A and B are shown apart, each in its own frame.
Chain A
Amino acid sequence: MSEIKKIKNLKEFSTSSDRFEGANLLCPGCAHSIIVREVLNATNDDLILAASTGCLEVCTAVYPYTSWDASWIHIGFENGSTAVAGAEAMYKALKNKGRLKQPDRKPKFVAFGGDGATYDIGFQWISGCFERGHDMMYVCLDNEVYANTGGQRSSSTPIGSSTTTAPAGRTSYGEKKNKKDMLAIMAAHGAPYVAQVSPSKWKDMVAKIQKGFAAEGPVFINAISPCTTEWKFAPEDTIAITDLATDSLVFPLYEIIDGTELNITYRPKNIIPVRDYLGAQGRFKHLFTKQYEYLIDEWQTRVDAKWEQLQRREEARV
């Protein structure tokens, strides 16, 4: 087991050795780059990385440039998980055969994918990797929409959000389906560690990433990634929006160990109304009308119920 990197404060953390360069094409205010840096900076170990097709991929490896100072691979939209799983299998093979070039160093294997690549098109590949138990971490950059292709709905898109394929209009309030509970599904695979993280709660995030790296086997991290372009807020408000998501409990921060042991890792001192979270984003603008205001109340009820359920599970240790 490699040593866990000690991180004292944010200043030190933000200036840690950077294996993801600031030189990339992501939108100003994009949370993806913040999340990726926090994941990579949580360890000093070598990294073998993969990305599924999406914003992160198209913005960080445009020939002849690369933003990655660690080995990185992209194949397609659905198979970032399996790409890194294949590399992990090769690591095991070469280790067994004594052919590793740096036999004393054990790299970490990490795949990144957006919610489209995770909840939808790449779901089977991720499930396969987790069932087989590859020693890898999968990080979902969850911006609740196909942002790279211009804002189409995914199965992570929440009710009432307006997207280009489920737009709000005279007879529709936008997305009709509730967001898929991906964390529960991944926990049900019996993964040693799954967790939800927020880039704004960096200490909580680093602790979880380090727990994930310390675990043997497949680890799933679902990171909320507010999208300035598709959620429609000002680029400088990314962290504020992220805080609204965690403090309204729309995006609760918790972990599940070995598929059963659930721990809530962040309890807001002041829980703010869901209305405040929704009201800060253009994608929910149409809900603030007489016609659709009932949906905001339904949102609050749903968030309260989920929070209640999480607390009960934590208490019951099941």
Chain B
Amino acid sequence: MADTMELRDIEVWDGNMAASQALRQVQVDVVAAYPITPSTPIVENYGNFTANGYVDGEFVMVESEHAAMSGCIGASAAGGRVATATSSQGFALMVETLYSASGMRLPIILNVVNRAIGAPLNVNGDHSDMYLGRDSGWIQFDAYCPQDAYDLNFIAFKVAEDHDVRLPAMVHQDGFMTSHTAQGVKTMTDEEGFAFVGEFQPMNDMLDLDHPVTHGVQTEEDWHFEHKARQQHALMTAALPKIQEAFDAFEKYTGRKYNLVETHMVDDAEMVVVCMGTSVETAMEVVDELRAKGMKVGVVGIRVFRPWPLEQLAEVLKNVKAIAALDRSSPHGTVGMLYNEIAGSLFNTDTKAVLTNYIYGLGGRDLTKVHLVGIFNDLKANMDAGKPTTALQQYIGLRGPKLSFF
């Protein structure tokens, strides 16, 4: 039996500690992990909890991120609660197994502390790893601050382990900006935290020795399509309402409210930026300042990146006249992912909004309030002109030539 940790109502935690504490409180059965900056402290903290009697599950330090997820898959198929953490290059090394985890419908929780992917090698935060996972069949939650990183872990377990969902989930947070920045985090007691998620309910567990099960079969042209289609159907139809249900339950439980699409001053907004991670909070400050000057501006934050909340996003953006999609990852060969997703969400609607794309913050480059004011000024010009007045894709905070295109 693991010892209980006495927590203050509000603890000063960085995003990594917030995630580690959540993993401890839900009493994960197996953590198989490999350290990588900036997610390393999640694993270190968890090791520390284990060494001091606060964890009674298995903590397996493996030899690579690929092995970490491989071990998680074996453990999850065996029938118990499983989680790990990674970033960047390690996430990239895991990619093969991410598809296995989702294809085998195993409810593993992966904390991804977002970081750039080399070359050139870079340890700082951007969303390149997060974008790399977007077709892997996982649910992807996005935390904007340590409080979110804590709360979304509980929500992730609740959704992923639901027998109507049975899909793995990632909880993303920005490398360093969230992971290494300490803030006040409202806590649950160990008992409360565990009770929200509840006992793990096994399904098709290998360790049920009276009911042997085969995991990870071969399917060719006769069945592969049906498997993938059902997986996608579960992600798009079962997962979204279950996520909303979990958000509602969490609000009732803690008073803290999460939405598939987060909004700030969007109801009557004419100009909106759509972004993820810590940028959402920066943009909220800028919006408050510009509102004071009479500009009808707002922020939309993507809280659930996969499954993409297409209808919910279209709904909040329906009256907006100019939209900026802020991508913290280089699209390499097209426009930004958020631009494409937003365009796809709005295409069959009546909107006449002007949509433009900004690439920012690669490799940990700051996005400042001044940058955001500039973006809103661009949006004002676009709205007034009824068409883009700038290049479709621009870089924010880039030194040297602008390198914009379209």
The interface of chain A, by Cβ under 8 A from chain B, is 46, 48, 50, 57-58, 61-64, 66, 68-76, 78-79, 82-94, 96-97, 99-102, 105, 107, 124-125, 127-128, 131-132
Which among B70, B216, B217, B219 has the highest number of chain A CB atoms within 10 Å?
A: B70
A79 touches B63 (CB 8 A): no
Task: Give Cα A57 to B70, complex, Å.
Answer: 17
The interface of chain B, by Cβ under 8 A from chain A, is 29-30, 32, 56-58, 60-64, 66-67, 70-80, 82, 96-97, 100, 104, 205-210, 212-220, 223, 227
B214 is contacted by which of A68, A92, A102 (Cβ under 8 Å)?
Answer: A68
Which chain A positions have C-beta within 8 A of B213?
71-72
Which chain B positions have C-beta within 8 A of A89?
30, 32, 58, 60, 71, 74-75
A90 is contacted by which of B62, B74, B218 (Cβ under 8 Å)?
Answer: B74
B223 touches A71 (CB 8 A): no
A82 is contacted by which of B62, B208, B220, B227 (Cβ under 8 Å)?
Answer: B62
Which chain A positions have C-beta within 8 A of B210?
101-102
A-B contacts, 26 of them at CB < 8 A, read A61-B217, A71-B214, A72-B212, A73-B77, A73-B215, A73-B216, A74-B217, A78-B66, A82-B71, A83-B73, A86-B78, A87-B206, A89-B32, A89-B60, A90-B29, A90-B75, A90-B76, A90-B80, A90-B207, A92-B58, A97-B29, A99-B80, A101-B207, A101-B210, A132-B60, A132-B61
Task: Give Cα A56 to B309, complex, Å.
Answer: 42
CB distance from A205 to the nearest CB of B (A): 24
Which chain B positions have C-beta within 8 A of A82?
62, 67, 70-71, 74
CB distance from A75 to the nearest CB of B (A): 5
Which chain A positions have C-beta within 8 A of B66?
78-79, 125
Residue in A closest to B74 when the chains form the complex, CB atoms: A86
Which chain B positions have C-beta within 8 A of A48?
78, 206-207
Which among A87, A99, A125 has the highest number of chain B CB atoms within 10 Å?
A: A87
Which chain B positions have C-beta within 8 A of A128?
62-64, 67
B217 touches A63 (CB 8 A): yes
B29 touches A93 (CB 8 A): yes
A61 touches B216 (CB 8 A): yes
CB distance from A294 to the nearest CB of B (A): 42
CB distance from B355 to the nearest CB of A (A): 40
Task: Give Cα A124 to B66, complex, Å.
Answer: 10
A66 touches B58 (CB 8 A): no
Task: Give Cα A107 to B212, complex, Å.
Answer: 12
Residue in B closest to A58 when the chains form the complex, CB atoms: B218
Asked, given contacts A50-B74, A87-B74, whether A69 binds B212 with beta carbons under 8 Å apart, the answer is yes
Task: Give Cα A160 to B159, complex, Å.
Answer: 56
B209 is contacted by which of A90, A107, A124, A125 (Cβ under 8 Å)?
Answer: A107
